[in-house]
Every structure is written in structure tokens, then in C-alpha cells.
Amino acid sequence: MFCAFLYLTGWFLQYARIFLSIDGFYFKVFSQYWIFRNGLFFGLPMMFLGYFIAKHDVISKVNRTMVLFVLIMSAFILVLELYLTKKFIFSVLSYHIDFIISLLAFCPMIFIILMKNNRLYFNSFQSKNIALISTAIYFVHPYVIYFIQRYEELPIVETYLLTVAVSAFISFVIFKLRRKLYFLF
């Protein structure tokens, strides 16, 4: 419950700026992405969802059909939420949309459906390795975004794809060098 509260707090902080005067002090404060785009409001709730799934053995307890249904419904709600947010909230202002309520259902469903798939199940590959690579991507990607935007003016889709590719590459290199970079892992 506390993690849902943290996520909703980040969501509220993201949208608070649209109700403030553009010339005001509070608008400048709430327009700083680090205020809401951080590990406390986004990372911790998502990590807790993963912990909850593991602790309560949700993967083995849920039916694949039910998971697919919730995944499809949450994907539909995700698209609808993004469309409505872009059309009605950020139609004039240009901002990144990070906190999307439907991600609280969509992300765990993707994880569960992948883990229930026999061909993709990660028994042979240590799940700790996936966690280390994912953590590295999470901490590396803001720097990649910063450098891409600082030195190149690309459309948002190309920026996204380049960010994913470069972040994954850097994270994989860090993962492979983890013995030498023991202070990182």
C-alpha cells in the first residue's frame, strides 16, 4: 500500500505543474524532472511489485488465460491513458510522461507472462544476472539520455531507440566487467 502511495505521489507531482502559473516559482520547481522521476517514486514501487510477486509465488498461482486477459486490458488502458494525457493534459505543453497509472498492472503482467512461458523461463540463466543488468540499465539510462540530447537533436522515437540500445550495451559491458568493478555490484 505504501509503495502504491509513493507511485501515486510521483504521478501527482508529474501533473502538478499543469495547474501552476508558468511564470511562477512552483512551476519551475515542479518542472524539474528529478522531483518526480526518481527511484523513490518510480523504482521502489516497481521493485516492490517484483518482490511481492516472488514472495507470494504469484507466477505459479495465477492462470495464464487470466494473465493474458489482464495484460491485454492493461495494454488497452495504457494506450488510452497516453492518448488522453497527450490530447487533454499536455496538448499545449511539451513534457515527458513518465508516471502512467496503468503501468502498475501492465508491467507485472508482462513479467508474469514471460515467466510462465516455458521457452522463456529463466531457470538456466540466473535471475540475479537479469536483476544486475536491469539495475545497470536503470541507473545508466539517464546519463545516456543526457548525452544524446546534449550533442544531437533527434526525433523522440530515434532518441528512445538509441537510448535503449546504448544503455543496454553499456549495462552489458558493466555486467561483464563486474569482477573488476566490484564497487558497482
Nearest to 114 by CA among 45, 174, 64: 64
Q: What is the span of the domain harbouring residue 149?
A: 123-185
What per-residue confidence (pLDDT) applies to 124? 52
Identify the pLDDT of residue 169: 94
Q: Which three cell numbers stand for residue 82?
A: 497516453
What is the C-alpha separation between 57 and 18, in angstroms, rounded?
Answer: 41
Contact 38, 99 (CB under 8 A): no
DSSP E strand stretches across the chain: none
**Does one domain contain both 82 and 170?**
no
Q: Is 14 found in the same domain as 63? A: yes
Which pLDDT does position 71 carry in this prediction? 92
Q: Are residues 28 and 103 in the same domain?
A: yes
Tell me how far apart the alpha carbons of residues 53 and 127 are, in angstroms, rounded to a whole number. Answer: 14
Co-location of 117 and 128 in the same domain = no
CA diameter of the chain: 56
Q: Which of 34, 15, 7, 10 is nearest to 105 (CA)?
A: 7
94 and 142 housed in the same domain: no
Do residues 101 and 62 touch, judged by C-beta distance below 8 A?
A: no
| 31 shares a domain with 12 | yes
18: buried, middle or exposed (CB in 10 Å: 19+, 13-18, 0-12)? middle
pLDDT of amino acid 27: 76
pLDDT at residue 126 in the model: 62
Q: Which of 65, 98, 121 marks a domain boundary?
A: 121
| Same domain? 82 vs 41 | yes
Question: How many domains is the chain built from?
Answer: 2
The segments of the chain whose pLDDT lies below 70 read: 90-96, 118-127, 181-185
Instruction: Identify whether residues 99 and 20 lie together within a single domain.
Output: yes
Q: What's the confidence (pLDDT) of residue 101?
A: 87
The whole-number pLDDT of residue 80 equals 92
In 3D, which of 167, 39, 163, 13 has the Cα closest to residue 95? 13
CA gap 106, 71 in Å, rounded: 6
Cα separation, 98 vs 42, in Å, equals 9
100 plus 167 within the same structural domain: no
* CB 141 within 8 Å of CB 87: no
Beta-carbon count within 10 A of 169 CB: 13
pTM, two decimal places: 0.67
